[in-house]
Structure 1
């Protein structure tokens, strides 16, 4: 699509993409699901090997929490910067560079080094992984129109769950039989393999350069889109002025999405770094039971993400406003997770504790895909990378704060510190759920941005 080609102002109806394009869309989606699996396998290594690393390097809980938080030192900054860059550079190459850096950053830690190498490795890895989720969502959703984005968006979030579910038993086996450094080497190698597959098969889709009010770009040559001017529908031969990012970031929808997703990311950071230790030291479960509970938590989280995608897609196809389909669904799940967290410390031990624990840490996960699809709906095509990157930059500060705070609480209060951590998490989830329900309304804010 050239700078002078413009889609019709009023499309006749949702166009049906050629079968070759549909196949390519799902191939790219599958690759990006694997991309997120590797991304979260990288993140989960420290949590799975927490005790081994602390013993090997002689670290206190606070020092280990600091090393875990170091991952997020540049995570938010790089997420925002590369998000802006994704509006100017093909995301295909940005994703490729990220995956290469993941492997490079972990190589020194895989072969040796102490606390300094651990921190340096995690800082570089965090900088490389910071933009991963928003750019992966932007790329995946560029292959689908708005009313078909819930499933692929949810699958990218499912990659988070699958990354932990698949990685946990494999990495745990490597840690137990070959040491924790072998697990670091394994995830670094996985990044190399992914890059070799992404080079020939990766790319952006026909909806990459168009706002949701327009129709898709023409599919050309190899089934991929040509990067257009990103203006969507408009007057023939006339480029539309670019919308300032500050207008998008000032909308109630962007604010509501960001607050809701922040609480979700807090739960993710808690789960990745401290949940295995909480299960063993805080709740007294054996290592074997803790592993099964972790698998149950991540598995249920994946099921809920897919269920949310089906529900919100069904609601949107029946004309229910995105305010309720996306904001209402995501907010309700966050509120339920918050209540579960607040009740958990006073619940009797046994089955009730397990139900509340799994519910508290599983229900919040669906907000990740809701955040991405809502921002894509809200934002003009040429501002999606920056808007998604800005959301990610804010919410991932939870990953910087949570591990250090929880580590400090554990050092100060012993196993009782986990109780305070769970209560703080519950309060944040209630705030996030309330923000999602009351602030998210893409239809309203799209109209305000058009003025």
Structure 2
């Protein structure tokens, strides 16, 4: 039994990934999988709902936007509560929330009820992703963290994709309500498993001065041999007179926080502009609807592979430079799309490459951000980055139609798509410069 002071982060960093960490990764993957399903589900059921209720697309717009607004609110609100109450509690509440509200959506009788429920469900969905990221990051060694977090994030794409296939099978046989019922029941069925198996972060417990025996019990599941006499070290705390949100703007974190926000905002702006309006752009250029949709789908496929590859490289090279390079290459490939003929096979390859780089960088940023903040404000830092970034997604969804209506040629439109990617690359490089100025020493915690 060890009675020497133990730096929890350094101890985890110096150990291989064990079965207990793989279990936590699997649980977080399932949460993100169901999160992705419920975020995307309204897009899959929208045509059936419009037909069933006799609505126009404009009348259904508030339902679609309500979920997006909820995602932003949930991400902004969840972080401070997680840093105060714990990652596990907030994460379980988030899963319960989006499961329940998705279930209730199946019984909505008009678009106003559906919009209100989607707003509440979106808040819960927005709280889940940053907390899953934060909890998992605090259990992983630094040398494997980026790869394993990006693997977790592939669950989001998988959940979104599976939602489409499930909706295509369920709606003809059981109606659109059945898709929402499944989207609600699956996370609710996961809740007992989370109560039983999902642990709290030992680093969070140490910062809250929890009983040493609780921390020792968790670390022993990772292969440790600690007891109640052990002492543990965690990062030096930020100014405790400040709330976590205010601490994001303290002198030490201000510039890095703003650069992370700008990077995530610009990345989501590009991705949502591309995913939302590329089919229309290609259709207006003369491609069939089927081919336009198929080529756009390649962006998502490339992004899923890119996330894992970028995460793997981040664990072996300077993470901020890897992400910046990926954003810059993504922007370059988007610029090149304007030079390709719409009938050329190079167009499809360019879309795959752009998705590989852009989504790879964006997912890599989710793995990068937890390492920038100390434990006591980590969930707030990650969730606020995601929350601010959601406004980039909302802006991308809103302005695409206006940009297309300006009558620019395809090369100019692809330039407009690519430019924010270069801004994102410069912003994350700025964060790296700020990060290297500050070391995070350990603090003895009783």
Task: Determine if the TM-score, normalized by the shorter chain, exceeds 0.5.
Answer: yes
Question: Which digits, 9 at most, give the CA deviation of each residue in 1:313-372, with x for residues without a partner?
Answer: 122xxxxxxxxx211111122122223334435531122322233333342112344323
Residues 393 and 347 (structure 1), Cα distance of their counterparts in 2 relative to 1, 3 Å cut:
same
- 1:321 — aligned with what? none
Shift in Å at residue 80 of structure 1?
1.9
- 1:266 pairs, out of 269, 272, 287, with 269
Find out whether 1:390 has 2:384 as its counterpart: yes
Shift in Å at residue 294 of structure 1?
5.5
Q: Under a length normalisation based on structure 1, what TM-score does the superposition of the two structures give?
A: 0.79
Question: Which digits, 9 at most, give the CA deviation of each residue in 1:92-132, with x for residues without a partner?
Answer: 12111111211222234323433213321221121111122
Shift in Å at residue 76 of structure 1?
2.2
- 2:424 — aligned with what? 432
Give the total of aligned pairs.
Answer: 423
Q: Compute the RMSD of aligned alpha carbons.
A: 3.9
Find out whether 1:149 has 2:151 as its counterpart: no
2:428 and 2:358 map into 1 onto residues whose CA distance is 12
Q: Which moved more, 1:190-199 or 1:434-443?
A: 434-443
- 1:320 — aligned with what? none
Find out whether 1:183 has 2:183 as its counterpart: no
2:422 and 2:376 map into 1 onto residues whose CA distance is 33
Residues 12 and 328 (structure 1), Cα distance of their counterparts in 2 relative to 1, 3 Å cut:
closer
Counterparts in 2 of 1:320-331, with a 5 A limit? 325-331=318-324
User: Counterpart of 1:446 in 2: which secondary structure?
Assistant: coil
Question: Which digits, 9 at most, give the CA deviation of each residue in 1:51-110, with x for residues without a partner?
Answer: 444444555555545432221223323312210111111221211111121122223432
- 1:85 — aligned with what? 81
1:437 and 1:382 map into 2 onto residues whose CA distance is 25
Find out whether 1:125 has 2:157 as its counterpart: no
Query: Could you list the runs of 5+ residues in structure 2 that have no partner in the other structure?
Result: 208-214
Q: Which moved more, 1:137-146 or 1:106-115?
A: 106-115
Query: Could you list the runs of 5+ residues in structure 1 that have no partner in the other structure?
Result: 212-216, 316-324
2:12 and 2:108 map into 1 onto residues whose CA distance is 59
1:190 and 1:419 map into 2 onto residues whose CA distance is 44
Shift in Å at residue 312 of structure 1?
1.4
User: Counterpart of 2:68 in 1: which secondary structure?
Assistant: coil
Find out whether 1:113 has 2:109 as its counterpart: yes
1:427 and 1:275 map into 2 onto residues whose CA distance is 16
Counterparts in 2 of 1:266-345, with a 5 A limit? 266-270=269-273, 284-287=287-290, 289=291, 292-293=294-295, 296-315=298-317, 325-345=318-338
Find out whether 1:366 has 2:360 as its counterpart: yes
Any conservation in 1 of the 2:69–2:119 contact (CA below 8 Å)? Answer: yes
Counterparts in 2 of 1:131-280, with a 5 A limit? 131-208=127-204, 218-220=216-218, 223=221, 232=234, 242=240, 244-247=247-250, 250-270=253-273
Q: Which moved more, 1:246-255 or 1:155-164?
A: 246-255
Any conservation in 2 of the 1:96–1:195 contact (CA below 8 Å)? Answer: yes
Q: Which moved more, 1:88-97 or 1:333-342?
A: 333-342
1:176 and 1:277 map into 2 onto residues whose CA distance is 27
